[in-house]
Structure 1
Amino acid sequence: MPHQTEEIQRMDKNIATVQHQEFSGPIPPPSLFREYDQIVPGAAERLLQMAEKQAAHRILLEHSVILSDIKKSERGQRFGFCIAVFGLVCAFALGLIGREIVAGIIGGGTLVSLASVFVYGRRQKEMERKKMRESSLQK
């Protein structure tokens, strides 16, 4: 009997319980939320304020990124327009002074470049939209 008692005591010492909880997002589930408030009075309110500040900060950052992208796009369109007008004016001027071949090359090159940029931009936007759709479906 002493041998069995010793073995049971050894088994009791080796039993352990593991509990794992997981949550997503800045605010814990209500049960944990209450526990935070019981341990540190006012902790629940502070957690809510922290989550609200974080959300407001993220929204502000996203807004500034969107505005920056719009400005960058507008600037690119303006520069592209200026370059295209310059190329076409040069081609027109060269055509007037009798350099039709050079005018055709410059004018044609300008138009082909504009078309290429337009098509490339469209493809990039489509690829971005497709990636966003796929990532939203995976969530």
Structure 2
Amino acid sequence: MAGVSLVCVPLVAKSVEQMLSEMATAKVRGADVVEIRLDHLASFEPRRDLDLLLRNRPLPALVTYRPKWEGGEYEGDDGRRFEALLLAMEFGADYVDIELKVTGISSIIILMDTGWLWFIYIYSCLKCSQHLHV
């Protein structure tokens, strides 16, 4: 996809219903992708809400659950946040965003291609010659 630009619309509604409405509007207005900002939902029930959001999406979706320390709204436990992002992958999210600054890991890149999920973990290690673990 070299040279191709896509328009991604962030969804920061407070309810799942509002996000679904914003998704439909984004599609009508020409968006290529939506970013589902879970951290903006006023009341988030991962299994129920992710199922509704991902099953009813009219466009490919990038799922983000941004913590406060990275400019988001989520103030809870990272374990709960990661569980929700893993659940998003199980429910078929097209893309999942995880911050570069997670405990012990400088970067996580998650690629999804034709139903196969690839995890590439890149660890910070100043004394190691091998930085990439698959």
What's the TM-score bracket when you normalise by the shorter of the two chains?
A: under 0.3
TM-score normalised by L of structure 1? 0.20
Tell me the TM-score normalized by structure 2.
Answer: 0.20
* Structure of larger gyration radius: 1
Whose relative contact order is higher, 1 or 2, with alpha carbons under 8 Å and at least 6 apart? 2
Greater helix content: 1
Please state which structure has a larger fraction of its residues in strand: 2
